Structure 1
């Protein structure tokens, strides 16, 4: 489950196993709502590579919940509409995700996305992702190094 968070400037999670692509990252901290700070370990892409991907997700040490940044979604062109019992996330006037309000918090279960929304994958995939897959899931840093040599 992911919490839709209007106070969160970046998508972030604490579980390394959720990533399908993880890039090394040096330094960085995030400040949480209770004013504590946590170390940013890495960043990458989270998803199942079939129906959805979320890019630019931070891996944050000790974070217990998955946070989906509303501002980061809006920067990607998504429109988000909140109602008393749910929220709707659209792109180009097409509904792509629907979240539910539970305990006064809006949440998304991204494991339940059906294949009819698989076009989301096309929106964020770039050539580096395609190279990553074609080259047996080589790291992005390895791809960058290889490109510099050519």
Structure 2
């Protein structure tokens, strides 16, 4: 991995060892992407005291932000580091504004698509009244040279 390159959040080894990774919640009410785990971030930079409201009514101040690679097709930038926070949030507002993605919700699912190609790049599954991010399955296409007609 080169400097500035993000690794995916959860390796196959973590899943194989049955470690339960912290879920990322797709939140239509959040103003910013937020994580409480500094290890999720790459390209970390200092920010000038960004206030973040906590569930208990208090305010925490974020002084760092970075980039998170959620999957091969989905990177989120300007993710605030807030150690007092108890979960990881993907802000739908920030996701739509910062990137070329659109997000659509149904009663049980949400889809994150590239606006131009309409390719599904991520999704959310509703669990306990929250939409939890999950990576979109990747499909590979292989081009075969020298075949001009269908052979059965």
Q: TM-score, normalised by structure 2?
A: 0.66
2:113 alignment partner, one of 82, 90, 96? 90
Comparing 31-40 and 17-26, the one that deviates more: 31-40
- 1:59 — aligned with what? 81
Query: Cα gap change, 1:94/1:43 in structure 2, threshold over 3 Å: closer, same or farther?
Result: same
Structure 1 residue 94 displacement after superposition: 1.9
Q: Which runs of no fewer than 5 residues in structure 2 stay unpaired? A: 1-22, 141-152
Query: Cα gap change, 1:79/1:51 in structure 2, threshold over 3 Å: closer, same or farther?
Result: closer
Comparing 33-42 and 89-98, the one that deviates more: 33-42
* RMSD of Structure 2 on Structure 1 (CA): 2.2
- What is the CA–CA distance in structure 2 between the aligned matches of 1:20 and 1:114, rounded to whole Å? 24
In our comparison, the structure showing a higher alpha carbon Rg is: 2
CA contact (8 A) 2:36 2:88 kept: yes
- What is the CA–CA distance in structure 2 between the aligned matches of 1:32 and 1:81, rounded to whole Å? 26
After the TM superposition, list the runs of 4 or more consecutive aligned residues in structure 1 that deviate by more than 6 angstroms: none
- What is the CA–CA distance in structure 1 between the aligned matches of 2:85 and 2:106, rounded to whole Å? 28
- 1:69 — aligned with what? 91
What are the equivalent positions in structure 2 for 1:1-150 lying under 5 Å apart? 1-47=23-69, 50-75=72-97, 76-91=99-114, 92=116, 93-109=118-134, 112=135, 114=137
- What is the CA–CA distance in structure 2 between the aligned matches of 1:32 and 1:7, rounded to whole Å? 13
Q: Secondary structure at the match of 2:94?
A: helix
Q: Which runs of no fewer than 5 residues in structure 1 stay unpaired? A: 118-150
| 1:60-81 residue CA offsets vs partner (Å, 9 max, x unmatched) | 1311100000101121232111
Query: Cα gap change, 1:51/1:8 in structure 2, threshold over 3 Å: closer, same or farther?
Result: same
